[in-house]
Amino acid sequence: MKNDWSEAGHALQKTFTFVDFKEALAFVNRVGEIAERSQHHPDICIRAYNKVSISTTTHDKGNAITSKDRELAEAVDNIS
C-alpha cells in the first residue's frame, strides 16, 4: 500500500484524480471488480467529474481498519 492513504476515524481514505469523468468511472468499475472478488466493499464517491474518493473500513470488526482494508487499498493502488 502506498503511503498516500490516510487514516480518518476508523477508515482508510484516498482520493484519486483523473483526466475526465469517463476515466473516473472506468476506475470505479475496476475497484468494484476487486471489491466483489474480495467480498470487501468500500464507500466510493465521484466528485467534481474527475475525482474518486474511496473509504474502507471493516464493519464486522467494529468499524476498524484491518488487513482486509490494507489489502484492498494495495489492490486499488495497483490499478491506478
CA dihedral 8, 9, 12, 17 (to 10 degrees): -40
pLDDT at 13 (0 to 100): 98
Does residue 39 lie within any of the structural domains? yes
Number of compact structural domains in the chain: 1
Q: Which residues of the chain have pLDDT under 50?
A: none
Domain that holds residue 10: 6-79
**Which residue, 15, 17, 9, 24, is CA-closest to 73?**
15
pLDDT at 63 (0 to 100): 86
Distance of CA 45 to CAs 15, 28, 56, Å? 9, 9, 12
Does residue 18 lie within any of the structural domains? yes
CATH number for 14: 3.30.1360.20
pLDDT at 62 (0 to 100): 84
Does residue 1 lie within any of the structural domains? no
